[in-house]
Amino acid sequence: MKNTAPILFLIVLVFQLTLVTAQESEWQSLFNGKDLSGWKELNGKHRWAVKDGMIVGSTVPGQPNGFLCTVEDFGDFVLELEVSVDTLMNNSGIQFRSQSYPEFKNGRVHGYQMEVDPKPQQWSGAIYEEGAERGWIYPPEKMSQVAKNAFIRDNKHGYQWNHYRIEAVGPIMRTWINGVPVAQLVDDRYLKGFIGLQLHANNEKDPQGSFSIRFRNIRIQQGDLNLTPLDDDVTEVNLLATSDFHLKPVATTPLQIKQDITLGSISIFRKNETSPILTHMAKPDERPYIHPIVATDGNGVLTEYRPDHHPHQTGIYWGLKRVNERDYFMQWNRDYWRGVSATVIVGSGDQVTWQTVYDMLDENGKTLMVETQNWTMRQVDDTYVLDLEWKGEAKADVVMGKFYVGGLFIRMPWVPETVGEIVSASGHRGMELEGNRAIWSDIGIKLDGREDFAHIAIFDHPGNKAFPTPWRVDSQMGMGPSRQILGEWKIASGESETIRYRMLIYTGEMDKAKLVDTWKGFFRWD
- 340-370 per-position pLDDT tens digit: 999 999 999 999 999 999 999 999 999 999 9
Looking at residue 100, which CATH number applies to its domain?
A: 2.60.120.560
Say how many domains are in the chain: 2
Indicate the Cα dihedral angle 227, 231, 234, 240, nearest 10°: 40
* 422 beta partners: 443
Name the percent of the chain lying above pLDDT 90.
68
The pLDDT value recorded for residue 23 is 38
Fill in the DSSP letter of residue 492.
-
When mean pLDDT is compared across 29-33, 85-89, 475-479, the lowest value belongs to 85-89
In a shared domain, residues 230 and 278:
no
Same domain, 180 and 157: yes
191 and 268 share a domain? no
pLDDT for 19 equals 34
N- to C-terminal Cα separation, the chain: 10
Q: Are residues 376 and 278 in the same domain?
A: yes
Residues 405 and 476 in one domain: yes
Same domain? 197 vs 277 = no
| Listed residue (360, 359, 355, 356) closest to 328, CA to CA | 360
In a domain, 247, yes or no: no
Q: Residue 516 belongs to what H/E stretch? A: helix 512-525
Claim to verify: residue 212 and residue 320 sit in the same structural domain: no
List CB contacts of 416: < 8 A, sequence separation 6 or more.
Answer: none
Claim to verify: residue 209 and residue 260 sit in the same structural domain: no
What DSSP designation does 305 have?
B
Cα–Cα distance list, 395 to 1, 254, 448, 484 (Å): 39, 39, 45, 20
Domain with 22 in it:
5-242
Whether 232 has a pLDDT exceeding 80, the answer reads no
What is the CATH classification number for the domain harbouring 262?
Answer: 2.70.98
- For 10-24, 27-41, 225-239, 388-402, which range has the lowest pLDDT when averaged over its residues? 10-24
Look at residue 256 and tell me whether its pLDDT is greater than 80.
yes
Lowest mean pLDDT, pick from 15-24, 190-199, 260-269, 337-346: 15-24
Return the pLDDT at 173: 93
Give the pairing type, strands 352-361 and 337-346. Answer: antiparallel
